[in-house]
């Protein structure tokens, strides 16, 4: 007999409970109880051990009340029921992400190392105008290449580039819209907070149901959902912080809204937007190991191998490689940001 | 003086800040003041019953203490702020009737603006900043470059066209701001405390620059200032604001000699009258035949005192372009140096 039997008796609901008795499947706990045959001894639970009247507890007294498992079933079933229409909508619009990820991976891998590394160094120089950083990046790649981590490193880099690109393409316009409407900002901030704090695995689960694990967009979406947040936030902030007098000047000289956006707001918000991009890159890097769980190639795969097979060395070296990439990307974007800042300081 | 139509004409202008400004208008029209409106209804009365005519080619200075509504007023001229009631006529056209396109057109061709903190685009070169108006209009670089360089030279900044604003001092940045306004070739120039953020010496330089440019350009300038010396130096027409209301508006000399209320009297109390007042403002019609000497009508009283060497008697003939136009008794001059009381008729009792 269960703790709350008396309650239902007092309320005179025993009949109702029994009429609706459902022969649902037994939970593991019930099975265990049955096996131990301790069904009858429950009545003498002391007052101090009274359990919280949760669904499962009430159910054992009155079978008409659903169990907690039914609740999770409802969540699961409702997701499964909208899965197909959701997939029909999301599949085509996220397809470009798969193409971009696969295409970029192919390009990075197909380009010989003696072409790709100089190209990357050139890009670093163009963005930062700093020989020190070029040297640093060069040495990092050299070390990676010598210890045969070149391919996973550029795979990771390729994924980061594509995901950062998509984050900017999505995040900047959303940030701009947010900066224009206080209502939208109020709606978006909790969503952004949620994206940033939800444990990554939580949105991996529905994604796995929606897309097949072999599709690259699966990990692409997971990374972007997590990494897009700082670009959105800092675009919104940057545009809201644009000097009011400069905006007045834009109006006073007869700028259209478009001119105002592209000639004043975005350029003046650029230091903040770039700071957002820097954070986005760092956050995508933080996701590469988790992304490797769902088939993303790169250094994350090696880390996972280290964990799965207890190959300590492999895991640590790959982890260190990720740190090197992070430091490198951080320094390069910070330096580029500093150049923008220097050109703009008032 | 009053023969031609004013370039800018502000009529019965009211501005109430707050959630329901138009509902507040009836209270304001029933005589509720700025403080009462804020206390009883939580709205800020920015401007009330402003009527000002600004003549073509003249500098109208609007002055008042901080919070008196100067910035609000000047922003109505190019409709950066929409009024709660009233009209703003630019060359007879009410700009409140203009739709968005027409308004942009007016802002691009009819008026330019200079800002207190310069409001330059930090990521653009000095040249691109100066050429903002033609760039916004969509002109090709070869058509405006010469013009922009010309105005940059006129404000004394040749050779700085490739610099960025942050490489220039405050005074130089404001010169860029003035060159930017001039490059728009608009007849109206709005200047909101354009020199207030500058050091005193640089401020004087900029005032001289503006006077010199204005002597040949004859723009219609609306100049905002909280500095009476600056206002007296630049103004053809002086408008004094207090709590969003015009207390007195007139030619500056006349405001000094005939202040209409105690507020103005206090305002002008510390001014060096000898240096500001001019002979033409206090001369009388010619009555005598012989004079101890001659003075020009544009001389300041200080000039005259210096010329007489401290003598306080005698009567001088006043000339304008060499022609006699009046006479000046030194006793009148001495009396004019004494602080004036508010004229009795308007005095608040
Ligand atoms: N957007 C606004 N909302 C509410 N009150 C305002 C706003 N703009 C100006 N005010 C008020 O209007 C008055 C005049 O302001 P302003 O024109 O800036 O004065 P000034 O330029 O003479 O210092 C002040 O009391 C100010 O607080
Ligand atoms: Mg102001």
A210-229 tens-digit pLDDT: 888 888 999 999 999 999 99
Strands B111-114 and B85-90: unpaired
B166-183 tens-digit pLDDT: 999 999 999 999 999 999
**Has residue A209 got a pLDDT over 90?**
no
With tokens 């500001």, the residue in question is B276
Rounded CA separation A255/A248 (Å) = 10
A138-169 tens-digit pLDDT: 999 999 999 999 999 999 999 999 999 999 99
Mutate to test the interface with B, among A253, A271, A274 (most CBs of B within 10 A): A253
Looking at residue B288, its pLDDT comes to 85
The protein residue with its alpha carbon nearest to ligand 1, atom 5, reads: B17
Which atom of ligand 1 approaches the CA of B34 most closely?
25
Rounded CA separation B348/A158 (Å) = 79
Reported as a pLDDT band with limits 50, 70 and 90, residue B233 is very high
Reported as a pLDDT band with limits 50, 70 and 90, residue A196 is confident
B67 alpha carbon – ligand 2 mean position (Å)? 7
**Mean pLDDT over the full length of chain B:** 91
Tell me how far apart the terminal alpha carbons of chain B are, to the nearest angstrom. 34
**Mean pLDDT over the full length of chain A:** 88
Looking at residue A276, its pLDDT comes to 95
Q: Is ligand 1 within 6 A of the CB of residue B116? A: no
Average pLDDT estimate for B30-52? 91
With tokens 């035949």, the residue in question is B289
**Has residue A38 got a pLDDT over 80?**
no
B139-151 tens-digit pLDDT: 999 999 999 999 9
The sign one gets for the Cα dihedral B54, B56, B58, B59 is: positive
Nearest to B123 among A251, A254, A343 (CB): A343
A57-85 tens-digit pLDDT: 888 888 888 888 888 888 889 888 888 88
Residue A341 contacts B, CB cutoff 8 Å: no
Question: How many residues make up chain B in this entry?
Answer: 349
Neighboring chain B residues of A264 at a CB cutoff of 8 Å: 121
Element (H, E) at B232: helix B228-234
Residue A346 contacts B, CB cutoff 8 Å: yes
Give DSSP secondary structure letters for B86-152.
Answer: EEEEETTEEGGG--HHHHHHHHHHTEEEE-TT----TTS-HHHHHTHHHHHHT--HHHHHHHHHHHH
**Has residue A280 got a pLDDT over 90?**
yes
Mutate to test the interface with A, among B104, B134, B148 (most CBs of A within 10 A): B104
B317-345 tens-digit pLDDT: 999 988 999 999 988 888 888 877 776 54
B81 alpha carbon – ligand 2 mean position (Å)? 13
Better-predicted residue by pLDDT, B105 or A70: B105
Q: Are A222 and A294 in contact (CB under 8 A)?
A: yes
Average pLDDT estimate for B297-321? 88
How much of chain A exceeds pLDDT 90, in percent?
Answer: 60
Looking at residue A36, its pLDDT comes to 65
User: What predicted TM-score, i.e. pTM, was given to this entire model?
Assistant: 0.85
**Has residue A34 got a pLDDT over 70?**
no
B249 alpha carbon – ligand 1 mean position (Å)? 21
Rounded CA separation A252/B331 (Å) = 51
Better-predicted residue by pLDDT, B232 or A21: B232
Looking at residue A203, its pLDDT comes to 79
A81-127 tens-digit pLDDT: 888 888 888 888 999 999 999 999 999 999 999 999 999 999 999 99
Residue A273 contacts B, CB cutoff 8 Å: no
């Amino acid at each position: 007999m269960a703790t709350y039997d008396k309650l239902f008796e007092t309320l005179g609901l025993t009949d109702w409970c029994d009429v609706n008795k459902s022969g649902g499947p037994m939970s593991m706990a019930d099975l265990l109880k049955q096996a131990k045959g301790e069904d009858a001894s429950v009545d003498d639970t002391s007052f101090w051990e009274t359990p919280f009247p949760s669904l499962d507890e009430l159910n054992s007294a009155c079978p008409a009340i659903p169990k907690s498992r039914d609740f999770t079933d409802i969540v699961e079933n409702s997701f499964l029921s909208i899965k197909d229409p959701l997939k029909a909508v999301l599949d085509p619009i996220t397809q470009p992400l798969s193409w971009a990820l696969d295409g970029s991976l192919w390009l990075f891998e197909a380009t010989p190392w003696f072409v790709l590394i100089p190209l990357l160094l050139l890009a670093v120089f163009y963005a930062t105008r700093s020989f020190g950083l070029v040297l640093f990046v060069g040495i990092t790649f050299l070390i990676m290449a010598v210890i045969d981590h070149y391919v996973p490193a550029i795979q990771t880099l390729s994924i980061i580039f594509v995901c950062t690109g998509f984050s900017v393409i999505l995040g900047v316009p959303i940030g701009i819209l947010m900066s224009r409407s206080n209502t939208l900002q109020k709606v978006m901030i909790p969503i952004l907070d949620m994206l940033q704090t939800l444990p990554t695995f939580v949105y991996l689960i529905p994604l796995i149901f929606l897309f097949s694990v072999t599709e690259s967009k699966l990990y692409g979406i997971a990374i972007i959902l997590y990494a897009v947040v700082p670009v959105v936030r800092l675009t919104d902030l940057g545009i809201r912080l644009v000097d009011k007098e400069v905006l007045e000047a834009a109006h006073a000289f007869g700028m259209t809204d478009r001119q105002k956006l592209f000639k004043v707001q975005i350029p003046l918000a650029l230091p903040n937007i770039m700071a957002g991009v820097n954070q986005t890159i760092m956050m995508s890097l933080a996701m590469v190991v988790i992304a490797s769980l769902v088939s993303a190639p790169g250094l994350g795969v090696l880390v996972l191998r280290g964990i799965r097979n207890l190959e300590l060395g492999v895991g640590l070296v790959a982890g260190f490689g990720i740190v090197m990439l992070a430091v490198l990307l951080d320094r390069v974007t910070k330096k580029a940001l500093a150049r923008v800042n220097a050109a703009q300081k008032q | 003086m009053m023969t031609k139509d004013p370039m800018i004409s502000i009529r019965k202008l009211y501005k109430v800040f707050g959630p329901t400004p138009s509902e507040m208008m009836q209270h304001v029209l029933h005589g509720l003041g700025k403080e009462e409106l804020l206390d009883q209804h939580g709205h800020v009365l920015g401007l009330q019953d402003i009527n000002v005519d600004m003549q073509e080619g003249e500098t109208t200075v609007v002055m008042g203490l901080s919070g008196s509504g100067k910035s609000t007023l000047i922003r109505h001229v190019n409709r950066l702020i929409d009024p709660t009631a009233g009209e703003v006529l630019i060359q007879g056209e009410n700009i409140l009737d203009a739709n968005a396109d027409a308004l942009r057109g007016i802002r691009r061709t009819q008026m330019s603006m200079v800002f207190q903190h310069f409001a330059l685009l930090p990521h653009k070169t000095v040249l691109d900043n100066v050429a903002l108006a033609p760039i916004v209009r969509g002109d090709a670089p070869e058509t405006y470059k010469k013009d922009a360089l010309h105005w940059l030279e006129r404000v004394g900044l040749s050779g700085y066209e490739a610099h960025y604003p942050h490489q220039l001092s405050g005074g130089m940045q404001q010169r860029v701001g003035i060159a930017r306004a001039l490059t728009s070739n608009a007849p109206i120039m709005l200047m909101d405390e354009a020199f207030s953020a500058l050091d005193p010496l640089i401020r004087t330089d900029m005032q001289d620059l503006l006077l010199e440019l204005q002597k040949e350009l004859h723009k219609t300038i609306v100049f905002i200032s909280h500095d009476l010396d600056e206002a007296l130096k630049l103004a053809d027409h002086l408008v004094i604001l207090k709590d969003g209301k015009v207390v007195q508006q007139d030619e500056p000399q006349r405001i000094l000699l005939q202040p209409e209320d105690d507020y103005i009297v206090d305002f002008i109390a510390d001014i060096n009258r000898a240096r500001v007042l001019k002979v033409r403002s206090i001369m009388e019609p010619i009555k005598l035949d012989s004079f101890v000497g001659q003075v020009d009508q544009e001389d300041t009283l200080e000039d005259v005192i210096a010329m007489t060497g401290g003598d306080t008697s005698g009567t001088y003939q006043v000339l304008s372009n060499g022609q006699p136009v009046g006479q000046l008794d030194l006793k009148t001059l001495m009396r004019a140096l004494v602080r004036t009381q508010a004229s009795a008729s308007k005095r608040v009792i």
